[in-house]
Chain A
Amino acid sequence: MAANGNGERGQHWEAQLRKGCLEMAILSSLWMGRLYGLEILRCLADKSNLEVAEGTVYPILARLRAEGLLQAEWVEAEAGHPRKYYWLTGPGRRRAQEMAEAWSNFSASLTILVEPVLKGNKS
């Protein structure tokens, strides 16, 4: 029962962690160029193993656009239907860099802290 409770709490914590990283992950996915919504979702799943509820990403994209961090445009496809492509604005690139630096420093310092825990698990 206690183990089960720990498991649930662990899953909840992991979900919160993923949620907190989502904005940074979306901005980072657009660093290399324009993507449309489904491409962003696939990029998150392929490159970061960050599988999120699909309905979560679109409202965040709308907000990031409203905040001026992203721009968007409908582009006609050669085959099929038009798609809404997003790209980073100047402030969006700056925000992505700030977040990436903060994340990098944070994770590096925590990695040092958890190293003995990981070694303990392996022994």
Chain B
Amino acid sequence: MTNLTQTRNDEIESYLAGLDGALRGVRREERDEILREIRTHILDSLPDNPQTGVDAVLRRLGAPERLAEQYQTEFLLTQASHSFSPWLLLSSAWRWAHTGLRGFAVFMVAMVGYVTAAGFLISALLKPFMPNEVGLWVGRGTFGFGDLGHRAGVHEVLGSWYIPVTMFLAFGAAVGTTHALRWLIRTRKRPAQ
């Protein structure tokens, strides 16, 4: 009986250790709360004959990785829908991208939006150091921001306005992407369960 109880406890601890490991990314405090609740659930669910019951209880809960994934998706997306942090929004979109095509499309929107914002910002910062290379270049079928200088028939049009214009565009792209992501996450279909 002692051996059976020990085996049962080992199985439970092994499951919870797997869940703990798979919940990386969730705050320690929340993770402990989850583990405590799942442990309570397992102990409460054990039928009168515990030595045969623990396998069935753990099976009904699902693999620890799968359970952790559901928690992470729910937590991250809920936090992200109330957040203005590009990092949290981007990491949430990345996690969502693993669950289906819609999530992947949202992640691509996030990437394109934030990379565009970062590009404008970097080019604004480079302008004072590379005034003749960085600019808005126009001419001979060319229209583009950044380092396109020194091409025949192409000239820069913004001059000293380049920095405020690109800073404004960077801000606009970042804010627009953030609001679009928050809206997409808030109006998402619930993740597959």
Contacts and interface: CB of A to CB of B under 8 A. Distances in A.
B142 interface: no
A23 to B, nearest CB: 7
Given A54-B60, A55-B70, A56-B70, A81 B40 contact: yes
A94 interface: no
A82 B40 contact: yes
The size bracket of the interface on B is 20 to 34
User: Which applies to chain A's interface (DSSP): helix, strand, loop or mixed?
Assistant: helix
Contacts of B73: 59
Contact of A81 (B43, B71, B193): B43
A37 B36 CA distance: 12
A63 B61 contact: no
A59 B71 CA distance: 5
B72 to A, nearest CB: 9
A84 B37 contact: yes
B66 interface: yes
Interface of A: 19, 22-23, 36-38, 52-56, 58-60, 62-63, 66-67, 74, 80-84
7 contacts: A53-B61, A54-B45, A54-B61, A56-B193, A62-B30, A84-B36, A84-B37
